[in-house]
Structure formats: structure tokens, C-alpha cells
Amino acid sequence: MRRAAALLLFLSIASACGGGATPMGSPAPSEAPTPSATVVARSLPTPAPTPSPTPAPVYWPLTGVRAEDPAKVKRRPLNVRLTNDPAARPQVGLAKADIVFEMIVEGGITRYSAIYHSQDSTSVGPVRSYRFSDLHITRMLRGALVASGATIEEKDAVTRSVAAGNMLSVDAQRVGGPYFRVSGRPAPNDLFTNLLTARQAVNEAGGAAPVDVPPLAFFPTVDHDPLAGGFGSSVPASTVRIPFQRDPVTFTWDESAKGYRRTQAGARTVDPDGNVQIGARNVVVMHTDIWQTSVVEDVLGSLGLDYRMTGTGKASIFRDGRRVDGSWKREGVLDMFSFYDAAGERILLSPGQSWVHFAYPAWVVTHEP
């Protein structure tokens, strides 16, 4: 009895204490799983591309025209010495020159220093011998002289300037490649040059490195106020006459072409390459000192001339069918010419070809309204 009672007591206590317990051998109840966070991939907005800065326009320094290939602006200008003897006309390739400098030589005739920078031509001529004035122009432009011979004194002067690093020379008497003879023109007016070949010769002579060509001052475009840019005091000038001793020159304004058409000795100045009459956007007359040297230039014993091309002097500038009188200035031998009206305002040229004429101080340049 006692044993039975003890057993019943034990069972009742065990039942009371472990009523909620899980029997041994049964799996423990699993906890409810904690829900995992859902990661939502967000794509960051693509940043807008930074626009490339628009390169500033580059202009040819001797014409003021925008350059299609800016790298070419750093190449050397070529100064081609052309004769203007009546027997040598018409000259070929003038229409592609950036600037044409017209200068008096012995005997009262003129010769051209035709400057080619923005354009080239495969045929330019007739090419003749150079003078001291070509040294001044070529050195100013950091250019290369394309000509055929000179006197010993002039050759020595050019040699010194080349040695100083201011210019180069591809003289036909030393470098034959860029030059050729044409039929139908009697010697010595039959020597021509290919400017593409001349540039190769210049590069081979050490002229391939880029140079900074000193610029003239231009308007940004041909379309500008004719009275702006130092022309506030200008007067109408439809016709210009330059009194060269032999064969005076006339320029006549052509409104449709926005340029002056050139004639000499009553005949139109025409470039056979394209059969176009020469039309200059700007016509400049620079009065300066011109003197006779002791250098004998030809078999007749004619003495050469030289020019003062630094300092200042009187100038007449024709542009947009108008004329203004003022001055030219040039500080040093490596500087470019600049032009000013009577009040000292800088004169701007119209983009395009310019003709620059050197005249004696006493010469009178006339015009018609």
C-alpha cells in the first residue's frame, strides 16, 4: 500500500511539473523565421557628358580669313619675287597671294613681293632676282624667300639673316627643284615656281618647325560698318590712282565683289590661272624714304634702291570704297606694319587680299569719290 501510494504521489508531481514539456526524443519547435530584408538595386543616374569646349576660331594672320586647318597657320609664308616688267605680264598666281607688296626698283619699274601663306599654287611667275627690300619683308614674316639670284651684297645680307634664324631662302641658283621653265615666254621671263615643291625645299632647309607670323589687324568678317575700324573720318573713293613713274596703277571699287579691281597702263591686271581680274579688299600706300645704293643691279650699271621700313610715315588706306589718310608704324625689323588714322585710332582691314605700295614721300595719291 505504501509503495502504491508513493508511486501515485510521484506521478502526480511529475505531471504537474512537466505538463507543457516536450517529451524527450521529440523535435524542439522551430522559431518563426525572421524575414530577410529585400535588397532593391537602384541604378544611379548617368551623369550628363561634359560638353567639349568649342575651340576658338583661328584666322590667317595675313588675310584675316578663318583657317579651315589651324595647324597650317604656323607654316612659313613664302615671299615670291615677281617681275612687273611689261614683257612679263600677265603674272601667274597673283590671285592666290595673301599680300602683294609693290616696290620701285632700278629704272623706275616695279617688282612684286607676293606673299603666299594661306594658299598655294603649282604655277607662279615669272620669278626674278631679289633686292634688299625682299630681305626686310621676308625677315618680318619669318618667311622663306623664293627668287632667282641677286647681287653679291644682297646675297650676303640674306645669308646673315638666315644664319640669325630670321628667315630662309630657296634661291633658284642653289635649289633647282621648285623651279621650271615655261614655253611661250622669252627668257628671262620664263622661270616659274611650284609652291608645293618650294615648301618641301623650305622644310628640307630647316623650315618645318612652326613659326608665329605677326598679324595685320582685321575685322572679323567682310560684313562690317564701313565707318568703323579707324574710318570715321574717311571719304568716298571709288577710284584710286598711284603715280608710279612707269605705268601708273589704278584701282576701281567693285561693290558686288567688295574689292578694288586693279589696272595698270590701262590694262586690267588679270591672273591667267582662272582668268580672273585681281581684286584687292584693301589698298595701302605707304610713304617712306627710298634711296639709291651703291650696288650695281644690272649690266647697264643701274644702281639699286633700298627702303626705310621701320619707324613711321604717312599712309593712305583704301577699303570699302572709301579713303582715310593717316600713318603707318613699325617698331622693329621683326614687327608687322600697323596703320592709324589722323586721331591715332588703329585702322582695321577687311578680310582678304591686300596690296601694299611703297611710295616716295612727295608722291600724291589721288582718288575720285
How many CA within 13 A on the CB side of residue 265?
12
pLDDT at 348 over 60: yes
The span from the CA of 136 to the CA of 337, in Å, is: 12
Please tell me the predicted confidence (pLDDT) of residue 36. 52
Q: What percent of the chain has pLDDT over 70?
A: 88
**34 phi and psi angles, rounded to 5 deg:** -75, 125
The answer to whether residues 127 and 148 touch, using CB atoms and an 8 Å cutoff, is yes
Grid cell in block for residue 314: 604717312
Please tell me the predicted confidence (pLDDT) of residue 5. 44
181 or 19: which carries more pLDDT confidence?
A: 181
Please tell me the predicted confidence (pLDDT) of residue 33. 52
The answer to whether residues 114 and 82 touch, using CB atoms and an 8 Å cutoff, is yes
Pairing of strands 239-242, 366-368: antiparallel
The span from the CA of 16 to the CA of 19, in Å, is: 6
Q: pLDDT for 25-57, tens place per residue?
A: 344 444 455 555 555 556 667 777 777 788 889
161 three-state secondary structure:
helix
> How high is the mean pLDDT of the chain?
90
The span from the CA of 218 to the CA of 208, in Å, is: 27
pLDDT at 21 over 50: no
The span from the CA of 263 to the CA of 248, in Å, is: 9
Listed in sequence order, the residues at least 6 apart from 364 whose beta carbon sits closer than 8 Å to its beta carbon are 243
Please tell me the predicted confidence (pLDDT) of residue 310. 98
Q: pLDDT for 198-235, tens place per residue?
A: 999 999 999 999 999 999 999 999 999 999 999 999 99
Q: pLDDT for 354-366, tens place per residue?
A: 999 999 999 999 9
The span from the CA of 115 to the CA of 195, in Å, is: 11
Grid cell in block for residue 21: 514539456
Q: pLDDT for 58-74, tens place per residue?
A: 999 999 999 999 999 99
- Exposure string (b/e) for 87-107, b if CB count within 10 Å is 16 or more? ebbebbbbbbbbbbbbbbbbe
262 three-state secondary structure:
strand
* CATH of region 70-368, choose from 3.50.90.10, 3.10.20.30, 3.40.30.10, 3.40.50.720: 3.50.90.10
Query: Domain extents for the chain?
Result: 70-368
Q: pLDDT for 160-203, tens place per residue?
A: 999 999 999 999 999 989 999 999 999 999 999 999 999 999 99
pLDDT at 264 over 80: yes
93 three-state secondary structure:
coil
Helices (H) and strands (E) in the chain, counts: 4, 23
